[in-house]
């Protein structure tokens, strides 16, 4: 694209089906990573 | 419902598509079209912007916006509420405990919510028996979760170091028996830190939090010994030694800034100049009557400080003098799933604090408030009503968060702060919100700047 640079490809809506395993660290969420990718 | 957040920072036009998490750096024409896109036709937009941009430029940009929207990267709708409400009907499992291994402290920090470590109560040290019962409770109530976390907290945990060692050994014995993996952490003021503790921490602690506020005069004003002497000169060499012995990883030096040091970026940089690579300096949360409490009128100054810090972090990065600032770290590509982002920190449900005598509270900040007593290590959770209140305390339960652009990065903020300022766990601490939003904007800007290097 000429006018846009997108910084990331991951889309949150794609984490709905496989998400929620709960194995990630407790947070006290913006900077953590999924541990079950 | 806010679906797009736009802002300018450090020369970048940044567009966050809130519900997909997509982040775009755009030129001026796109930046101006986006607010018009959903309420105007293409022809109306051309008419409106033709004094500034050519028709070709506008039409081209309009098409790019259409492509982003079709690809689920712009104007994405929030369709998660039903999912989260269903998600929270699942059985509760516990996966983390904050063990108050010592309700006692050798410092008398002015802003400490634990009041010299005593948490509005009496001085006490946790016995091995209580700690063991807590770990047994955690294992028994963790369902099929494999990764379990135990924070050694206080007060000052090193005032009860022997029990810390015994509990870690007990936890390690249980790992194989129950197919669990413990992640232990330790938070210390450094006064009792010595070679034995460092060696133990490097072997067993996944994370160590080292409390220091920054410059000597700033630290010693708020973090004195009970007799009034400062702690800075005692702890700095020990913290430097520990950080180096951990290869500058898996630790944080963690400070608090107050109204006395609104120029807190200088404290962050001071810690970086001391050689620390993992740094967190965070706003004090205090009642308005406290003279060191942050006020609404301080916000513009604090925003400037965050901007200044972000620019300095980038400048040092170019010089190869990187350091991490906790609140500017953001994972745009590999961050957690929607369920995690919208459920909050898990306090009162999958995370509990345990007092030295074995009582459960939703988290360390509620300890000592009897209205939030949830049960104990012997009898388990006794207050299911309270647990359910915390379980349903997701982003959609909070009016202020439901429409906030930051909701996927902040998860609705801190329940304890909300309660302390508004008497409800489903509200939000307003000054904290403003600062959080500013930090997220800075964090994304840093990612935009770093992306230019690729």
Q: Do B411 and A4 touch (CB under 8 A)?
A: no
To probe the interface with A, which of B62, B182, B340 has the most A CB atoms within 10 Å?
B340
pLDDT value at residue B145: 83
CB B231 within 8 A of CB B223: yes
Q: Do A26 and B350 touch (CB under 8 A)?
A: yes
Instruction: State the DSSP string of B15-78.
Output: EEETTTTEEEEE-HHHHHHHHHHTTS-HHHHHHHHTTTS-HHHHHHHHHHHHHHHHTTSSS---
B338 touches chain A (CB under 8 A): yes
B390 touches chain A (CB under 8 A): no
Q: Do B73 and A31 touch (CB under 8 A)?
A: no
Q: How far is CA B236 from the centre of its chain?
A: 24
- Min distance B72 CA to chain A CA atoms (Å): 8
A17 touches chain B (CB under 8 A): no
B282 touches chain A (CB under 8 A): no
E strand or H helix that includes residue B114: none
Strand-pairing partners, residue B325, are B279
What are the residue ranges in chain B where pLDDT is below 50? none
Write the Ramachandran bin of B246: left for phi over 0, alpha for psi from -120 to 50, otherwise beta: alpha
| Residues B408-438: tens digit of each pLDDT | 999 899 999 999 999 999 999 999 999 999 9
pLDDT value at residue A27: 87
Strand-pairing partners, residue B327, are none
Strand B4-9 versus strand B12-17 pairing type: antiparallel
| Helix, strand, or coil (residue B386) | helix
pLDDT value at residue A37: 47
Of A12, A27, A32, nearest to B338 by CB-CB distance is A12
Number of H helices, E strands in chain B: 17, 16
Which residues make Cβ contacts (< 8 Å) with residue B7, sequence separation at least 6? B14, B441
**Which residues in chain A have their CB less than 8 angstroms from residue B25's CB?**
4-5, 7
Residue B417 structure tokens: 């702060």
Where residue A35 falls among pLDDT bands split at 50, 70, 90?
Answer: low
Angstrom distance (rounded) from CA B385 to CA B392: 11
């Amino acid at each position: 694209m000429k006018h846009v640079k997108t910084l990331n490809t991951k889309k949150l809506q794609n984490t709905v089906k496989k998400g929620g395993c709960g194995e990630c660290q407790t947070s006290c969420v913006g900077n953590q990573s999924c541990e079950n990718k | 419902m806010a679906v797009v957040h736009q802002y300018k920072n450090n020369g970048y036009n940044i567009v966050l598509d809130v519900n997909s998490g997509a982040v775009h750096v755009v030129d001026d024409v796109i930046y101006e079209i986006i607010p018009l896109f959903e309420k105007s036709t293409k022809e109306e937009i051309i008419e409106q912007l033709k004094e500034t941009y050519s028709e070709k430029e506008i039409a081209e940009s309009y098409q790019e916006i259409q492509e982003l929207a079709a690809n689920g990267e712009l104007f994405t709708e929030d369709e998660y509420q039903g999912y989260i409400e269903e998600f929270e009907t699942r059985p509760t499992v516990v996966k983390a405990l904050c063990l108050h291994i010592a309700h006692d402290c050798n410092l008398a920090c002015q802003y400490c919510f634990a009041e010299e470590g005593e948490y509005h109560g009496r001085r006490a040290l946790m016995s091995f028996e209580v700690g063991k019962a807590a770990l047994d409770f955690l294992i028994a109530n963790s369902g099929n979760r494999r990764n379990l976390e135990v924070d050694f907290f206080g007060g000052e945990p090193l005032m009860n170091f022997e029990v810390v060692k015994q509990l870690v050994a007990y936890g390690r014995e249980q790992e194989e028996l129950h197919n669990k993996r413990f992640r232990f952490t330790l938070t210390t003021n450094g006064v009792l830190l010595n070679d034995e503790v460092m060696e133990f921490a490097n072997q067993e602690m996944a994370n160590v939090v080292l409390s220091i506020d920054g410059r000597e005069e700033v630290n010693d004003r708020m973090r004195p010994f009970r007799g009034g002497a400062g702690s800075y000169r005692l702890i700095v060499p020990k913290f430097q030694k520990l950080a180096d012995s951990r290869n500058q990883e898996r630790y944080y030096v963690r400070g608090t800034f107050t109204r006395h040091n609104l120029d807190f970026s200088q404290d962050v940089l001071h810690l970086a100049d001391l050689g620390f690579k993992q740094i967190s300096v965070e706003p004090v949360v205090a009642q308005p009557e406290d003279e060191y409490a942050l006020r609404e009128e301080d916000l513009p100054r604090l925003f400037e400080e965050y901007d200044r810090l972000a620019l300095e972090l980038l400048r040092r990065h170019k010089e190869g003098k990187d350091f991490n600032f906790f609140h500017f770290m953001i994972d745009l590509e590999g961050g957690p799933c929607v369920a995690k982002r919208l459920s909050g920190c898990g306090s009162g449900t999958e995370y509990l604090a345990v007092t030295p005598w074995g009582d459960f509270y939703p988290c360390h900040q509620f300890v000592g408030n009897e209205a939030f007593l949830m049960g104990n290590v012997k009898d388990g959770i006794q207050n299911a009503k309270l647990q359910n209140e915390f379980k349903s305390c997701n982003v959609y339960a909070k009016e202020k968060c439901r429409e906030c652009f930051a909701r996927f990065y902040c998860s609705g903020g801190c329940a304890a702060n909300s309660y302390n300022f508004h008497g409800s766990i489903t509200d939000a601490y307003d000054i904290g919100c403003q600062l959080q939003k500013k930090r997220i904007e800075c964090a994304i800007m840093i990612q935009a700047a770093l992306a230019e290097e690729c």
